[in-house]
């Protein structure tokens, strides 16, 4: 993928602790009429990173922002009791997200890290990604 200027963090909006796979999310997105999973990567509860949509293909994860962005989602984002937005990231997911974001920032120095909520009236990813990852966005400034 060329000219990446944004890395956008998402959640799957699934209850805390519920195992969810790339295949699950792909099925949900295909059921909506999409051509494939919208995210480029999905971070499982154990922190393992799984490829969704190829980086050579434009994502379908954030309306109006897909052309020059990478979409990364973590599994979770919803409280398992009240089904309300909640930062449910495990420590392993937090570490994996930082590692990925640092990697993509090195590969695409001009990229800014955002949360989906910075572009839509949604809680996703259920925390302020732009604020939390500001130090990565500003690595060389």
Domains and CATH numbers, the chain: 6-137 (3.40.80.10)
- At 2 the pLDDT is 72
- At 1 the pLDDT is 62
Whether the CB-CB separation of 77 and 124 falls below 8 Å is answered with: yes
**24 three-state secondary structure:** helix
Of 6, 29, 39, 133, which is the active-site residue? 39
Per-residue pLDDT of the chain (141 residues), as tens digits, is 678 999 999 999 999 999 999 999 999 999 999 999 999 999 999 999 999 999 999 999 999 999 999 999 999 999 999 999 999 999 999 999 999 999 999 999 999 999 999 999 999 999 999 999 999 998 766
- At 97 the pLDDT is 98
Q: Which residues contact 8 (CB under 8 A, 6 or more apart)?
A: 61, 62, 65, 69, 70, 71, 72, 113, 114, 115, 116, 118, 119
Of 6, 40, 105, 116, which is the active-site residue? 116
Residue 10 annotated among the catalytic residues of the structure:
yes
Residue 11 annotated among the catalytic residues of the structure:
no
Tokens for 72, please give them. Answer: 């990364």
pTM over 0.85: yes
- At 58 the pLDDT is 94
Number of other CB atoms surrounding residue 12 within 10 Å: 23
């Amino acid at each position: 993928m060329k000219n990446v200027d944004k890395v956008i963090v998402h959640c799957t909006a699934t209850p805390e602790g519920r195992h969810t796979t790339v295949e699950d999310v792909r099925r949900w997105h295909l059921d909506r009429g999409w051509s494939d999973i919208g995210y480029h990567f999905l971070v499982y509860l154990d922190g393992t990173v799984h490829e969704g949509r190829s980086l050579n293909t434009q994502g379908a994860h954030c309306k109006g922002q897909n052309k020059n962005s990478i979409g990364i989602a973590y599994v979770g984002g919803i409280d398992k009791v009240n089904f309300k937005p909640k930062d449910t990231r495990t420590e392993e997911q937090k570490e994996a997200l930082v590692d990925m974001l640092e990697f993509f920032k090195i590969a695409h120095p001009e990229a800014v890290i955002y949360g989906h909520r910075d572009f839509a009236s949604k809680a996703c990813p259920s925390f302020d990604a732009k604020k939390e990852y500001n130090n990565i966005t500003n690595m060389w400034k």
